Amino acid sequence: MDENKGLFKYTEQERAKIAVKLLLSLSKPVLAGIIVSELHGHEDAVYTLQFDDQKIISGSRDRTIKIWENGDVSKTLLGHKASVLCLQYDKDIIVSGSSDCSVIVWDIYTGNILRHLFSHSEPVLNLQFKDNILVTCSRDKTIKIWDIQTGTVLKTLIGHTSAVNAVQFQEDLIVSASGDQTIKLWDFNGNLIKTLVQYTRGIVCMQLKGNLIVTGSSHLVDSFVGHSHLVRSIQFDKRKLVSSSYDHTVKIWDIKNGKLIHDLKGHTDSVLKVQFNDTKIVSAGHDKKIIVWDFTVGLDDPQDKLVLSNGKQVPLQDITNNVKQRQKDKLECKVPKQVKVKEIPYPDSPITKGTRISDKLVPTEQPVIDPFPDQPDVFTEMVDSEDELINAIAEFVKM
C-alpha cells in the first residue's frame, strides 16, 4: 500500500489532529436538511412534484412535466397549453392539472397521453386519485369527481364562494379547502356534510390523514407560526410537519408541540411545493430549482437509545444532535491509557511499535483477536483542552 496516499501520508501527530476534529464535530450542532442535490432543467417556476426512491416527477410553469432519474431528466411530457399546477402518479399513470383548465392522464412508461379531460372552466388547482376515482378542484369554485376509465364527470360539488385551492379524500369522505376561509366535508354523492368556518384567512394548502386535517394559509400552518409570508405547501406524519413558503424557506416542525425544529434555506425565491419521506425532503420553487435535502440527520427521536457493549444505554440524540450541555462539558477522551502494548498478536500479522499502518491490516478471512481482553470496555480520562486531547490520542496512536 502506498504510504504517500490517503491518511498514510500524515505523521502520527497529524493523524491525531484529524481524529480530534472528528471527535469535536460530535459536540457541534448537526443540522437536518443538508442539500444533497439541485436539479436544473425546467425553464420556469416548478409548481408541483412527487417522488419515490427511483424518480422525481415535476410540473412547471414552462408547461412541461419532467421525469427525473438519478438527477437527470429521463422524459419530458408535452401536452398542456399552460402551467402544470398539480400532479399525482402511481405505478401506471400520471394525472396532471393545469392552468389550461384541463386534466391529462399519461402513461407513466411511455409518456403518451391516455385521456384529456375537460370540464372545469378555470385552472385546475389540485387533484387526488385512487384506483379509478379522480377528484379535482378549481379556481371556478367547484370540485369534480371523475371516472378515470371513461373520462366522465360523476359529480360536481358546488358550495364554495371562492377558488377551491386544495382537495383530498379518503374512503367515503372528501375534504376541500378554499380561499373563502372555509373547509368543507362532502360525501361521494355530492352532499355537503359539514363546513368548518373558524378560519380568518383563505386556505392555500391542506393535508388530510385519518381524523386530522392540517391547513396552511398566509403566515400560518394551522397553529404553527413561523413563516413570514404565505404558506404554499405542507405535508406531515405522526412526528413532523414540513412546510414551504413564499419566504423562500422550508420549515420542519414538531407536530405534537408546534415548535420549529429546523429552517432550511437553499431556494432563492418562493418555495411552491414540498414533500418528504423517511430519508429526504424534496422541494420545488419559483427559482426553477428542485432541491433534494438529506432528512436523516438532526431529527433523532429523543427516546431512541444507543446500546453500548457494556450494556449502558445512551440517548442517540446525545451523540448525533445539537445538545447544548455537551458543548459546555470538558472534552472527553476515551483511550486505554493504562495499557502499554509493544506487540499485539494478530493471526499471521504481528503488530509492533514502528510498524507501518499498512502492515497492521488483518487478513479478511481470519477472525480478529481482542487486543485488550481483560480490560473494561472503555477507559475515560477528562482533558481540559484540544492540545491535551491531541497528545493523549497521539500517545495512543504511537503504542
CA 286, CA 17: separation in Å to the nearest integer? 44
Low-confidence ranges of the chain (pLDDT < 50): 1, 24-32, 218-228, 300, 302, 306, 316-386, 389, 393, 396-397, 399
- H-type alpha helices, 259-362: 316-320, 324-328
Q: Which three cell numbers stand for residue 113?
A: 397521453
Q: With contact defined as beta carbons under 8 Å apart, do 123 and 101 qualify?
A: yes
C-alpha count within 13 angstroms, C-beta hemisphere, residue 302:
4
Question: Which H or E element spans position 23?
Answer: helix 12-25
CA 57, CA 86: separation in Å to the nearest integer? 11
Give residues with Cβ within 8 angstroms of 386, minimum separation 6: 20, 24, 331
CA distances from 148 to 84, 145, 329 (A): 19, 9, 62
Q: What single-letter DSSP state applies at residue 145? A: E
pLDDT at 216: 67
DSSP secondary structure string, 156-172? EEE--SS-EEEEEEETT
Q: What single-letter DSSP state applies at residue 233? A: E
CA 311, CA 364: separation in Å to the nearest integer? 28
Query: Coil, helix or strand for 284?
Result: strand
CA 389, CA 381: separation in Å to the nearest integer? 10
Residue 273 region by backbone torsions, left for phi larger than 0, else alpha for psi between -120 and 50, else beta: beta
pLDDT at 125: 97
CA 83, CA 24: separation in Å to the nearest integer? 49
Give the tens place of pLDDT for each residue, 67-102: 999 999 999 999 999 999 999 999 999 999 999 999
Give the tens place of pLDDT for each residue, 290-300: 999 887 755 54
Q: With contact defined as beta carbons under 8 Å apart, do 45 and 27 qualify?
A: no
Q: Which three cell numbers stand for residue 57?
A: 416527477
Taking the alpha carbons at both ends of the chain, their separation in whole angstroms is 21
CA 361, CA 356: separation in Å to the nearest integer? 10
Complete domains list, the chain, with CATH = 6-28+317-397 (no CATH), 35-294 (2.130.10.10)
Stated pTM of the model: 0.65
